[in-house]
Structure 1
Amino acid sequence: MDSIVMCGYSVHRQCDFPEEIGGNRHYLIRLQSHGECGARLNDGEQFTLCKGDLLTLAPGDKLKLRKDKLSDDPADVSGDYYLICRGEWVTDWYREIGERKLTRVPPNESLLELWRLLIRETRRVPEAGDEEYLESLLRTFCLSVKRLLNQGQKGESDFIVFRMRRFIEDHAVEKLRVADVAEHVSLSESRAIHLFKEITGRSIVDYLMEVRLNFAIEQMKYTGSTLEEIAENSGFGTYSYFHRVFRRLKGMSPGKFRQKYREDVDWQE
């Protein structure tokens, strides 16, 4: 069974770990969240871990960390998320990601949220059935890391657009502007618009409307909310705007769509 050995978050103002982090049975996933930290892997070349550096180490890999106290500045710290795990599935996962040791990844709030969930769940008093639940969370986390690494391999432009899409999906129901999406990936608005269109074949606004529409359709199918409430909850604001976008993309009004869906469900039952 795949299992989590240890999971947490650590901050160091000064550290010198003569002992080696790692083991003969465990995999280590470590993300430098802020600050810098000296490192040496497998007694080889020394390097500096900077914000966004993701380490994925296999059993047998040895990691030594060091941070000298350079100032009295409280912000001069090294922070990292870490996960130590083991299992046959994890072994297969590690082979699938290409056994990469060190990769620079951009900020990814979805991954950090999942990491924080793992930390909370591993710290609470265990109950019956927790092993299966934690194993599922571990696999979900590892697959998220794999997806992030695979997107990074496609090239810088593809990865930037991947981040833009995730940002849109996370904030679609808010008052989101194209300028907000561009700022998230540190691009000018015109460059973000051109790049998104080049990679996906559609505009940022069209993708935003599609995400909002999918969310609205889920509410139309499975809730009793009014169409006016759904329009507001999905980020469209007014029903008239929601109606106009829905008809343009779906070829019918929201009311007609909901009626047709309910008739189809009643017929199947």
Structure 2
Amino acid sequence: MEWNTLGTPPSLLPLYWRAALKRKITGDTLPEQGLRCRVPINPKAVAAYRKVCGFADSPILPATYPHILAFGLQMQLLTDKTFPFPLLGLIHLSNRIRIHRPLGGVSELTIGVHAQNLKPHPKGATFDLVTTAEDSLGLLWEAESRMLCRGVKLPGDATDDAQPTPTHVNELTRWHAPADIGRRYARVSGDYNPIHLSALSAKLFGFPQAIAHGLWNKAHTLAALGEHLPAANIEITVAFRKPVRLPSEVRLMASAAGSSGELLLKGSADIEHMVGKWQPIA
């Protein structure tokens, strides 16, 4: 893996142009290149993110916040001319976060992003978008987002490693996902994917109405779990099943508080939006 170290986080506007212009699959191998950058943490931006995602005030960063710090680097990686798949149209299948130490007392982090693990899938091909966050002591946090690109043909057997539906869970809480949450989350995350912004822009991509960002669903879930979860030495994995159409109400089911457990996010008519589990880092 070759690493390209940037002096400052990328500006998003030109990257959105690059994303909009690339619509074709141009290859079937991932680039052997990653991006790194030191990214400052802005307390006002963190506070705005907490408000949109339902996190309580705390000296410790929300478990999902390093994703926000990494978003520009992820965009730059995925819109680079060496990257074979168009960014618009990628489907976020699952996300795993590992928190090695509590996310407190940091004013900047070194963020790294790269893509790996390209595999055939029944609907195309998947790869893992890997993000790491390091402080002065070393690796603090890491995540893998599994992405699906439809229409890619790869040799080999296609597998779909689906997470089972949790069984020993009870309703913990419920919340309303309002019609404008996609726009509000876009303002704090930088993720202005048209499928989240309005019914009109979502229809251009085949959705009958706007859908909530997957990482907003995960963030709001972790905010709701709060003290339910350990602050460190924890791995939290979720699989996104059916999108949350906006507006709607969702119910969070979870097992008892502890070092490991399961969660399930349900909508009306018992639609399963997201399944997940947490456990100590192996």
Same fold (TM over 0.5): no
Which one scores higher on RCO, CA 8 angstroms, separation ≥ 6? 2
Higher strand share: 2
Of structures 1 and 2, the larger Rg is shown by 1
TM-score (structure 1 length as normaliser) = 0.24
